[in-house]
Structure 1
Amino acid sequence: MSKHTCIIVDDDTVDLLMNVSMVRKVSFLDLAGTFSSGLDAAHFLQTNKIEVLFLDIDMPEQSGLELWSLLDPKPICIFITAHAEYALDSYESAAFDFLVKPLKADRFDKSMSRLQDHFTLREKSGLFDQFLGTDSFFIKEGHEQQRISFKDVLYLEALGDYTKIVTTQKNHCVLSTLGSMLSMPEFGNFTRIHRSYAIQRFFVEKMTATEIVVRGISLPIGRKYKHNLSLQ
């Protein structure tokens, strides 16, 4: 299993040590450094590329949200904070996950399982090969071609330079940003509801002012994307 570099940023010494202990147990992560301030982490990231960022939000001088907003390119970010009220802001920022202190082992393990799935999908990521009219398309996955029908695509999820295609049968990953995919005429039936998500309206089971439920899966609605939806 390939290793993926990460760093941890937390101004609380006890929390930082706890986070280090848990991250070091994750077999596919390689801890490249720990930092007690966002400014120190930002300086490190100017000359070092990492893949995963475990980031506290409430820190002096520069908050985790401020640091995250300044990073380009952005690694995968998992916010860790004692303040659950930051959850909406973290989802708006397209973070991978949001963990509340004190960290619970089962919740952390679930997040790491999702992270491993993400890397597995990314390693198998394909490229669009061809569109078949407006009904389906092929993507390359390794040495194989997979045919995907648009009617089976529940939603699209942004994963940095990649996009996860979530279907009724399985998930796929393509080397294309979500924005690039949505600019294609073939994806004209998809509605962007969040920086990280786009849906097909006919799969929507429930809609509120803050979330949409698609086949039992709750997806957040970004504040600046509400105009794309008819919310009563």
Structure 2
Amino acid sequence: MMNYLIIDDEPIAHTIIEDYAVSLNDLALVGNCYNAIEAMTFLQKEKVDLIFLDIEMPKLKGLDFLRMLTDPPLVIITSAYSEFAVDSYELEVCDYLLKPFSFERFLKAYTKVVKHTENSSKKSTTVAEATSNSIFLKGDKETHHVQLDTIKYLESYGSYVKVYLENSMLLIHESISYFEAQLPADKFIRVHRSFVVSIKSIKSIAGNQIKIEGGIIPIGQSYKAMVKKRLF
């Protein structure tokens, strides 16, 4: 059973999603929130596996709310505005439903969620939870004990992540979001849908680029505000 939460300032949107979800036996409604502030409080108290999230809401926009979550549940965007689709996919949402959407389209989005969950459960564990100083990374043939201070940055590479160290690079079968959740937030920062950077490795920032030793890392448009808030 998958617990889901609806976050939308329009009551009719809640009704439509609930009516569609009733047809799916493995979806259980655990809450209705009508703004993102209310949702933040709810998530601190309840376990949620999936969020149906509106974008244009008062007080705090849906995507800004999503950027504030350190370990977000799976997310399906439900919006009347198509122009936010690119930004939302940078945040690795499962799907983007453009209102008004049919049951068939709703079912297609939910199928993506199920597939994502199944793929995650089938994966062998490749990353051990980080301690305060190190992390275990499982490569193809051996498990590497890596000191966090030696990681310069991480880059998404299809279904893998390239972990760039001071003198080498490891290719790990995991998602960039998984690393973002595992690595300590006081040492690493997500700056792009494809990049997580060690704060210690940052030499300078100019415009939409971060300079580190040996390279330039782009800052994603949807991450600019968060990067500015964290680093300045």
If the length of structure 2 is used for normalisation, what is the TM-score? 0.58
**Residues 7 and 138 of structure 1: CA distance in aligned 2, closer, same or farther (over 3 Å):** farther
CA contact 1:94–1:196 (8 Å) conserved in 2: no
CA contact 1:26–1:112 (8 Å) conserved in 2: no
If the length of structure 1 is used for normalisation, what is the TM-score? 0.58
The SS at the match of 2:57 is: coil
2:38 aligns with one of 37, 40, 49:
40
CA contact 1:24–1:31 (8 Å) conserved in 2: no
**Separation in structure 1 between the aligned mates of residue 4 and residue 118 of structure 2, nearest angstrom:** 17
Between the aligned residues of both structures, percent identity stands at 27
CA contact 2:74–2:113 (8 Å) conserved in 1: no
Partner of 2:9: 11
Partner of 2:113: 115
The SS at the match of 1:187 is: strand
Partner of 1:27: 25
**Separation in structure 2 between the aligned mates of residue 36 and residue 8 of structure 1, nearest angstrom:** 8
**Residues 50 and 109 of structure 1: CA distance in aligned 2, closer, same or farther (over 3 Å):** same
Partner of 1:51: 49
The 5 Å alignment of 1:65-84 reads 65-84=63-82
The SS at the match of 1:98 is: strand
Amino acid at match of 2:108: K
How far is the alpha carbon of 1:130 from its aligned partner? 6.5
Unaligned runs of 5+ in 2: 127-136, 143-156, 177-191, 196-217, 222-232
Aligned residues: 158
The SS at the match of 1:46 is: helix
Partner of 1:187: 171
Partner of 2:96: 98
**Separation in structure 1 between the aligned mates of residue 52 and residue 75 of structure 2, nearest angstrom:** 6
The SS at the match of 2:45 is: coil
1:85 aligns with one of 78, 83, 86:
83
Q: Does 1:224 align with 2:223?
A: no
Unaligned runs of 5+ in 1: 132-136, 140-154, 157-163, 166-177, 198-222, 227-232
